[in-house]
Amino acid sequence: MKSSQERFLRLIAIFKFFKAAILIALSVGVFRLLHKDVGETAERWVKALRLDPGNHFVDAVLIKASLITPAQIKKLGLGSLIYAALFLTEGTGLWLLKRWAEWFTAILTATLIPLEIYEIHRRPTVPRVVVLLINVAIVFYLVWCIRQRKPKPTE
């Protein structure tokens, strides 16, 4: 494998590790809310950030936060950990330059693209579009890498 390909695969691995770290931090934060009043916690954050509690959007968030159940908290935390495990698997395999990881990452990333497009259609934001473009580029690059190399007997 060319050293430029190795560097790019490792760059993708770092991106996957970064996404895993964000999801792990999210799940830890979510699980810390498990035995607390989420609405009250959200109100404290509103005060700490000096947001206007009378603002329509802030009020809507506070209402939604107060309706979150412990079961929903558990599902969100567990779902975040599962996705983090997938990203860690992808990142580790890519960092180690394993061919299976190229396939795994290409397939898994490609299957999430329709969901990302749906989310952008529902509510477009710059970060969502950027993540979509990065993921599309990753899929195309990995498919190109896979097609360029002949498989080794050990892979």
Domain ranges of the chain: 3-33+68-148
Hey, how many other C-beta atoms are within 10 angstroms of the C-beta on 99?
Answer: 16
Give the model confidence (pLDDT) of 112-126 as tens digits: 899 999 999 999 999
CB of 70 within 8 A of CB of 34? yes
Q: Which of 17, 20, 21, 61 is nearest to 38 (CA)?
A: 61
User: In Å, how far from its chain's centre is CA 40?
Assistant: 27
On the 0-12 / 13-18 / 19+ scale of CB atoms within 10 A, 79 is middle
| Average per-residue pLDDT for the chain | 89
Give the model confidence (pLDDT) of 62-87 as tens digits: 888 888 888 999 999 999 999 999 99
pLDDT band at residue 58 under the 50/70/90 scheme: confident
Tokens of residue 5, six digits = 């390909």
Q: Is the pLDDT of residue 99 over 60?
A: yes
Phi, psi of 152 (to 5 degrees): -85, 155
